[in-house]
Protein backbone atom coordinates (compact mmCIF):
# COMPACT_ATOMS: atom_id res chain seq x y z
CA UNK A 1 0.00 0.00 0.00
CA UNK A 2 1.15 3.51 -0.79
CA UNK A 3 2.60 4.94 2.48
CA UNK A 4 0.73 8.22 1.92
CA UNK A 5 -2.61 6.41 1.57
CA UNK A 6 -1.83 4.39 4.70
CA UNK A 7 -1.07 7.62 6.58
CA UNK A 8 -4.37 9.13 5.46
CA UNK A 9 -6.35 6.08 6.56
CA UNK A 10 -4.62 6.15 9.95
CA UNK A 11 -5.52 9.83 10.33
CA UNK A 12 -9.19 9.20 9.47
CA UNK A 13 -9.39 6.21 11.82
CA UNK A 14 -7.94 8.33 14.64
CA UNK A 15 -10.43 11.18 14.27
CA UNK A 16 -13.30 8.67 13.90
CA UNK A 17 -12.25 7.11 17.19
CA UNK A 18 -12.28 10.62 18.71
CA UNK A 19 -15.78 11.09 17.33
CA UNK A 20 -16.96 7.87 19.01
CA UNK A 21 -15.13 8.45 22.30
CA UNK A 22 -16.58 11.94 22.69
CA UNK A 23 -20.07 10.44 22.70
CA UNK A 24 -19.49 7.24 24.63
CA UNK A 25 -21.18 8.11 27.93
CA UNK A 26 -21.80 5.54 30.70
CA UNK A 27 -22.87 2.71 28.45
CA UNK A 28 -22.18 0.09 31.09
CA UNK A 29 -24.53 1.74 33.54
CA UNK A 30 -27.43 -0.69 33.92
CA UNK A 31 -30.01 1.78 35.17
CA UNK A 32 -33.11 2.00 33.01
CA UNK A 33 -33.64 5.60 31.94
CA UNK A 34 -36.71 7.00 30.28
CA UNK A 35 -36.25 8.31 26.74
CA UNK A 36 -37.44 11.92 26.81
CA UNK A 37 -37.78 14.50 24.11
CA UNK A 38 -35.34 17.42 24.25
CA UNK A 39 -38.13 19.75 25.45
CA UNK A 40 -39.22 17.33 28.21
CA UNK A 41 -35.63 16.82 29.30
CA UNK A 42 -35.00 20.59 29.50
CA UNK A 43 -38.16 21.12 31.60
CA UNK A 44 -37.28 18.23 33.92
CA UNK A 45 -33.68 19.35 34.28
CA UNK A 46 -34.61 22.97 34.96
CA UNK A 47 -37.08 21.87 37.64
CA UNK A 48 -34.39 19.79 39.33
CA UNK A 49 -31.88 22.64 39.20
CA UNK A 50 -34.42 25.06 40.67
CA UNK A 51 -35.09 22.71 43.59
CA UNK A 52 -31.38 22.23 44.27
CA UNK A 53 -30.72 26.00 44.10
CA UNK A 54 -33.48 26.63 46.68
CA UNK A 55 -31.93 24.02 49.01
CA UNK A 56 -28.48 25.59 48.56
CA UNK A 57 -29.89 29.05 49.23
CA UNK A 58 -31.49 27.86 52.47
CA UNK A 59 -28.19 26.35 53.59
CA UNK A 60 -26.24 29.45 52.58
CA UNK A 61 -28.47 31.59 54.79
CA UNK A 62 -27.60 29.35 57.75
CA UNK A 63 -23.87 28.97 57.11
CA UNK A 64 -20.87 31.22 56.72
CA UNK A 65 -18.72 30.54 53.63
CA UNK A 66 -16.16 28.72 55.76
CA UNK A 67 -18.83 26.57 57.40
CA UNK A 68 -20.46 25.84 54.03
CA UNK A 69 -17.33 24.15 52.71
CA UNK A 70 -17.24 21.94 55.80
CA UNK A 71 -20.91 21.01 55.52
CA UNK A 72 -21.46 17.69 53.72
CA UNK A 73 -24.98 18.49 52.65
CA UNK A 74 -24.00 21.83 51.13
CA UNK A 75 -21.12 20.21 49.24
CA UNK A 76 -23.39 17.39 48.06
CA UNK A 77 -26.04 19.80 46.76
CA UNK A 78 -23.51 22.14 45.16
CA UNK A 79 -21.79 19.26 43.36
CA UNK A 80 -25.16 17.90 42.25
CA UNK A 81 -26.18 21.27 40.82
CA UNK A 82 -22.93 21.67 38.87
CA UNK A 83 -23.06 18.05 37.63
CA UNK A 84 -26.61 18.53 36.27
CA UNK A 85 -25.65 21.21 33.73
CA UNK A 86 -26.18 18.78 30.88
CA UNK A 87 -22.71 18.22 29.52
CA UNK A 88 -23.06 16.63 26.14
CA UNK A 89 -19.79 14.71 26.15
CA UNK A 90 -18.44 11.73 28.05
CA UNK A 91 -15.27 13.73 28.79
CA UNK A 92 -14.86 17.50 28.92
CA UNK A 93 -11.50 18.57 27.49
CA UNK A 94 -9.24 20.95 29.36
CA UNK A 95 -8.01 24.06 27.54
CA UNK A 96 -4.63 22.36 26.97
CA UNK A 97 -6.30 19.22 25.59
CA UNK A 98 -8.47 21.30 23.26
CA UNK A 99 -5.42 23.11 21.89
CA UNK A 100 -3.65 19.79 21.35
CA UNK A 101 -6.66 18.25 19.55
CA UNK A 102 -6.99 21.23 17.19
CA UNK A 103 -3.23 21.38 16.55
CA UNK A 104 -3.01 17.64 15.81
CA UNK A 105 -5.94 17.95 13.43
CA UNK A 106 -4.32 20.93 11.71
CA UNK A 107 -0.99 19.07 11.34
CA UNK A 108 -2.77 16.16 9.67
CA UNK A 109 -4.65 18.47 7.32
CA UNK A 110 -1.37 20.16 6.32
CA UNK A 111 -0.10 16.70 5.36
CA UNK A 112 -3.30 16.26 3.33
CA UNK A 113 -2.49 19.48 1.45
CA UNK A 114 0.90 18.02 0.49
CA UNK A 115 -0.76 14.81 -0.66
CA UNK A 116 -3.27 16.88 -2.62
CA UNK A 117 -0.45 18.78 -4.35
CA UNK A 118 1.24 15.49 -5.28
CA UNK A 119 -2.03 14.03 -6.61
CA UNK A 120 -2.76 17.24 -8.54
CA UNK A 121 0.62 17.03 -10.27
CA UNK A 122 0.06 13.38 -11.22
CA UNK A 123 -3.36 14.09 -12.68
CA UNK A 124 -2.67 17.42 -14.44
CA UNK A 125 1.10 17.35 -14.96
CA UNK A 126 1.19 20.81 -13.32
CA UNK A 127 2.57 22.00 -10.00
CA UNK A 128 -0.01 23.22 -7.51
CA UNK A 129 0.92 26.84 -6.81
CA UNK A 130 -0.71 29.97 -5.45
CA UNK A 131 -1.81 30.79 -9.00
CA UNK A 132 -3.87 27.63 -9.58
CA UNK A 133 -4.88 26.35 -6.14
CA UNK A 134 -8.54 26.99 -6.83
CA UNK A 135 -8.42 24.40 -9.58
CA UNK A 136 -8.21 21.76 -6.83
CA UNK A 137 -11.43 21.19 -4.84
CA UNK A 138 -9.48 19.17 -2.28
CA UNK A 139 -7.12 22.06 -1.67
CA UNK A 140 -10.02 24.54 -1.30
CA UNK A 141 -11.76 22.28 1.23
CA UNK A 142 -8.66 21.51 3.31
CA UNK A 143 -7.37 25.09 3.28
CA UNK A 144 -10.77 26.28 4.51
CA UNK A 145 -10.61 23.83 7.44
CA UNK A 146 -7.04 24.84 8.32
CA UNK A 147 -8.15 28.49 8.34
CA UNK A 148 -11.02 27.63 10.68
CA UNK A 149 -8.69 25.75 13.03
CA UNK A 150 -6.21 28.63 13.09
CA UNK A 151 -8.99 30.97 14.14
CA UNK A 152 -10.22 28.54 16.82
CA UNK A 153 -6.72 28.25 18.24
CA UNK A 154 -6.43 32.03 18.36
CA UNK A 155 -9.80 32.25 20.15
CA UNK A 156 -8.89 29.56 22.69
CA UNK A 157 -5.51 31.11 23.46
CA UNK A 158 -6.82 34.65 23.75
CA UNK A 159 -9.67 33.98 26.17
CA UNK A 160 -10.15 32.84 29.72
CA UNK A 161 -12.48 29.91 29.14
CA UNK A 162 -15.46 29.01 31.30
CA UNK A 163 -16.82 25.45 31.41
CA UNK A 164 -19.53 26.51 28.97
CA UNK A 165 -16.96 27.95 26.53
CA UNK A 166 -14.80 24.83 26.76
CA UNK A 167 -17.83 22.73 25.92
CA UNK A 168 -18.72 25.04 23.02
CA UNK A 169 -15.23 24.73 21.50
CA UNK A 170 -15.29 20.99 22.06
CA UNK A 171 -18.57 20.76 20.20
CA UNK A 172 -17.02 22.72 17.30
CA UNK A 173 -14.13 20.23 17.24
CA UNK A 174 -16.64 17.35 17.24
CA UNK A 175 -18.59 18.86 14.33
CA UNK A 176 -15.39 19.58 12.41
CA UNK A 177 -14.04 16.03 12.56
CA UNK A 178 -17.44 14.66 11.55
CA UNK A 179 -17.52 16.80 8.38
CA UNK A 180 -13.90 15.88 7.56
CA UNK A 181 -14.65 12.16 7.87
CA UNK A 182 -17.68 12.50 5.58
CA UNK A 183 -15.74 14.55 3.01
CA UNK A 184 -12.80 12.16 2.67
CA UNK A 185 -14.87 8.95 2.86
CA UNK A 186 -18.28 9.62 1.26
CA UNK A 187 -19.58 6.13 2.08
CA UNK A 188 -18.91 6.67 5.80
CA UNK A 189 -21.93 7.25 8.03
CA UNK A 190 -20.92 9.04 11.24
CA UNK A 191 -24.48 10.34 11.61
CA UNK A 192 -25.63 6.76 12.22
CA UNK A 193 -23.97 7.09 15.61
CA UNK A 194 -25.02 10.36 17.15
CA UNK A 195 -25.40 9.94 20.88
CA UNK A 196 -25.66 13.69 21.43
CA UNK A 197 -28.97 13.70 19.59
CA UNK A 198 -30.53 10.26 19.72
CA UNK A 199 -29.45 6.87 21.03
CA UNK A 200 -30.92 4.39 23.48
CA UNK A 201 -29.29 3.66 26.81
CA UNK A 202 -28.06 0.16 25.95
CA UNK A 203 -27.35 0.75 22.29
CA UNK A 204 -24.16 -0.90 21.04
CA UNK A 205 -21.22 1.40 20.36
CA UNK A 206 -19.95 1.01 16.76
CA UNK A 207 -16.37 0.21 15.86
CA UNK A 208 -14.29 2.75 13.94
CA UNK A 209 -14.41 0.50 10.86
CA UNK A 210 -18.22 0.22 10.98
CA UNK A 211 -18.62 4.00 10.80
CA UNK A 212 -16.00 4.43 8.09
CA UNK A 213 -17.42 1.57 6.01
CA UNK A 214 -20.99 2.77 6.57
CA UNK A 215 -22.14 -0.61 7.92
CA UNK A 216 -23.42 0.55 11.31
CA UNK A 217 -27.22 0.75 11.25
CA UNK A 218 -28.69 2.98 13.95
CA UNK A 219 -32.30 1.77 13.49
CA UNK A 220 -31.27 -1.87 13.79
CA UNK A 221 -29.10 -1.23 16.85
CA UNK A 222 -31.86 0.90 18.37
CA UNK A 223 -34.34 -1.99 18.13
CA UNK A 224 -31.82 -4.45 19.60
CA UNK A 225 -31.18 -2.01 22.46
CA UNK A 226 -34.92 -1.68 23.04
CA UNK A 227 -35.19 -5.47 23.42
CA UNK A 228 -32.22 -5.49 25.80
CA UNK A 229 -33.76 -2.66 27.81
CA UNK A 230 -37.08 -4.52 28.09
CA UNK A 231 -35.30 -7.67 29.26
CA UNK A 232 -33.43 -5.69 31.88
CA UNK A 233 -36.63 -3.94 32.98
CA UNK A 234 -38.47 -7.27 33.27
CA UNK A 235 -35.61 -8.84 35.25
CA UNK A 236 -35.42 -5.80 37.50
CA UNK A 237 -39.17 -5.92 38.14
CA UNK A 238 -39.00 -9.65 38.88
CA UNK A 239 -36.19 -9.13 41.38
CA UNK A 240 -38.09 -6.28 43.00
CA UNK A 241 -41.27 -8.33 43.42
CA UNK A 242 -39.27 -11.21 44.90
CA UNK A 243 -37.72 -9.00 47.59
CA UNK A 244 -39.19 -9.59 51.07
CA UNK A 245 -41.67 -6.88 51.98
CA UNK A 246 -41.41 -4.93 55.22
CA UNK A 247 -43.58 -6.22 58.02
CA UNK A 248 -46.05 -3.89 59.72
CA UNK A 249 -43.81 -3.81 62.79
CA UNK A 250 -40.80 -2.84 60.67
CA UNK A 251 -42.81 -0.11 58.96
CA UNK A 252 -43.90 1.21 62.33
CA UNK A 253 -40.34 1.46 63.66
CA UNK A 254 -39.06 3.02 60.47
CA UNK A 255 -41.81 5.63 60.90
CA UNK A 256 -40.75 6.16 64.53
CA UNK A 257 -37.15 6.71 63.42
CA UNK A 258 -38.25 9.15 60.72
CA UNK A 259 -40.22 11.14 63.31
CA UNK A 260 -37.12 11.25 65.52
CA UNK A 261 -35.01 12.54 62.63
CA UNK A 262 -37.65 15.10 61.71
CA UNK A 263 -37.60 16.38 65.29
CA UNK A 264 -33.79 16.46 65.22
CA UNK A 265 -33.87 18.44 61.98
CA UNK A 266 -36.17 21.06 63.51
CA UNK A 267 -33.90 21.39 66.54
CA UNK A 268 -30.75 21.69 64.41
CA UNK A 269 -32.29 24.33 62.14
CA UNK A 270 -33.40 26.49 65.09
CA UNK A 271 -30.72 25.77 67.70
CA UNK A 272 -28.75 28.95 68.39
CA UNK A 273 -27.86 28.13 71.98
CA UNK A 274 -25.64 25.05 71.88
CA UNK A 275 -22.37 24.60 70.04
CA UNK A 276 -21.86 22.63 66.83
CA UNK A 277 -20.03 19.44 67.82
CA UNK A 278 -19.64 17.94 64.32
CA UNK A 279 -18.76 20.68 61.79
CA UNK A 280 -18.90 18.19 58.89
CA UNK A 281 -22.65 17.65 59.43
CA UNK A 282 -23.57 20.80 61.37
CA UNK A 283 -24.88 18.70 64.30
CA UNK A 284 -25.39 20.70 67.51
CA UNK A 285 -25.18 19.41 71.07
CA UNK A 286 -28.94 19.76 71.56
CA UNK A 287 -29.60 17.77 68.37
CA UNK A 288 -27.28 14.97 69.51
CA UNK A 289 -28.96 14.82 72.93
CA UNK A 290 -32.35 14.50 71.23
CA UNK A 291 -31.16 11.74 68.87
CA UNK A 292 -29.48 9.75 71.67
CA UNK A 293 -32.60 10.00 73.81
CA UNK A 294 -34.72 8.50 71.04
CA UNK A 295 -32.04 5.92 70.20
CA UNK A 296 -32.02 4.69 73.80
CA UNK A 297 -35.83 4.49 73.87
CA UNK A 298 -35.95 2.52 70.60
CA UNK A 299 -33.18 0.13 71.74
CA UNK A 300 -35.07 -0.61 74.96
CA UNK A 301 -38.30 -1.26 73.08
CA UNK A 302 -36.83 -3.50 70.40
CA UNK A 303 -34.42 -5.54 72.55
CA UNK A 304 -36.91 -6.44 75.26
CA UNK A 305 -38.64 -9.83 75.02
CA UNK A 306 -42.41 -9.58 74.55
CA UNK A 307 -45.20 -12.10 74.23
CA UNK A 308 -46.81 -12.34 70.80
CA UNK A 309 -50.58 -12.12 71.38
CA UNK A 310 -51.30 -14.36 68.38
CA UNK A 311 -48.83 -17.20 69.08
CA UNK A 312 -48.34 -16.62 72.82
CA UNK A 313 -44.58 -17.02 72.21
CA UNK A 314 -41.90 -14.77 73.66
CA UNK A 315 -40.29 -12.73 70.86
CA UNK A 316 -37.81 -9.88 70.36
CA UNK A 317 -39.16 -7.09 68.14
CA UNK A 318 -35.80 -6.12 66.66
CA UNK A 319 -35.43 -7.54 63.15
CA UNK A 320 -32.26 -6.85 61.11
CA UNK A 321 -34.06 -3.97 59.35
CA UNK A 322 -35.16 -2.39 62.62
CA UNK A 323 -31.72 -2.88 64.19
CA UNK A 324 -29.99 -1.28 61.20
CA UNK A 325 -32.44 1.63 61.14
CA UNK A 326 -31.82 2.39 64.81
CA UNK A 327 -28.09 2.07 64.13
CA UNK A 328 -28.35 4.78 61.46
CA UNK A 329 -29.93 7.02 64.10
CA UNK A 330 -26.90 6.46 66.36
CA UNK A 331 -24.43 7.03 63.51
CA UNK A 332 -26.20 10.31 62.71
CA UNK A 333 -25.90 11.33 66.37
CA UNK A 334 -22.12 10.93 66.09
CA UNK A 335 -21.65 12.83 62.85
CA UNK A 336 -21.40 10.04 60.28
CA UNK A 337 -24.48 11.21 58.34
CA UNK A 338 -26.34 14.50 58.12
CA UNK A 339 -29.85 14.45 59.55
CA UNK A 340 -31.21 15.16 56.07
CA UNK A 341 -29.32 12.29 54.42
CA UNK A 342 -30.31 9.76 57.10
CA UNK A 343 -33.95 10.84 56.78
CA UNK A 344 -33.89 10.41 52.99
CA UNK A 345 -32.28 6.96 53.19
CA UNK A 346 -34.73 5.60 55.76
CA UNK A 347 -37.64 7.17 53.89
CA UNK A 348 -36.49 5.42 50.69
CA UNK A 349 -36.31 2.11 52.57
CA UNK A 350 -39.80 2.67 53.94
CA UNK A 351 -41.11 3.29 50.40
CA UNK A 352 -39.26 0.31 48.87
CA UNK A 353 -36.84 2.52 46.92
CA UNK A 354 -33.07 1.90 46.49
CA UNK A 355 -30.79 3.05 49.33
CA UNK A 356 -27.05 3.49 49.75
CA UNK A 357 -26.51 2.62 53.41
CA UNK A 358 -28.86 -0.29 54.22
CA UNK A 359 -27.32 -3.78 54.19
CA UNK A 360 -30.22 -5.88 55.52
CA UNK A 361 -32.39 -7.31 52.69
Q: What is the mean pLDDT of residues 298-316?
A: 74
> Among 205-219, 233-247, 251-265, 346-360, which stretch is predicted with the lowest mean pLDDT?
233-247
Same domain, 13 and 134: yes
Higher pLDDT, residue 89 or 41: 89
283 and 302 in contact (C-beta within 8 Å)?
no
Confidence tier at 302 by pLDDT (50, 70, 90) = confident
Query: Per the structure, how many domains does the chain have?
Result: 2
pLDDT at 312: 72
Regarding predicted confidence, which is higher, 311 or 55?
Answer: 311
* Domain-terminating residue out of 229, 256, 277: 229
Span 330-335, mean pLDDT?
90
Considering the domain architecture, whether residues 222 and 293 belong to the same structural domain is answered as: no
pTM of the model: 0.50
Average pLDDT for 46-64: 51
**Same domain as 193, residue 254:** no
State whether 10 and 130 are in the same domain: yes
Q: Which of 169, 214, 165, 207 is nearest to 187 (CA)?
A: 214
Domain that holds residue 83: 3-229
158-166 contacts at long range (C-beta below 8 A, 24 or more positions apart): 161/95, 163/85, 163/92, 166/92, 166/93, 166/94, 166/95, 166/98
Determine the pLDDT at residue 313: 72
Nearest CA-CA partner of 39 in 50, 28, 47 = 47
Is 260 found in the same domain as 187? Answer: no
358 domain-assigned: no
Asked whether the beta carbons of 166 and 191 are under 8 A apart, the reply is: no
List, for residues 135-187, the tens digit of each pLDDT value.
889 899 999 999 999 999 999 998 788 877 888 898 899 889 999 999 999 99
pLDDT at 198: 53
Whether 239 is covered by a domain: the verdict is: no
Amino acid sequence: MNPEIHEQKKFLRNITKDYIDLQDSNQENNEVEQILSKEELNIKLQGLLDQIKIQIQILQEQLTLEEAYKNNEYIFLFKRATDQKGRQFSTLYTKERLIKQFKDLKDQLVKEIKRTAHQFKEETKKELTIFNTFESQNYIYIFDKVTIINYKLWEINSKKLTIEKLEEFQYQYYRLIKTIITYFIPKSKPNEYCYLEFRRKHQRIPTTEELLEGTYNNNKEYELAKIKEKQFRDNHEEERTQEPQLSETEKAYLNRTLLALEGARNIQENDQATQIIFPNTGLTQATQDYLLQHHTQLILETSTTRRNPRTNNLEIIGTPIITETIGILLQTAFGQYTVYYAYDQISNKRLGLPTDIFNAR
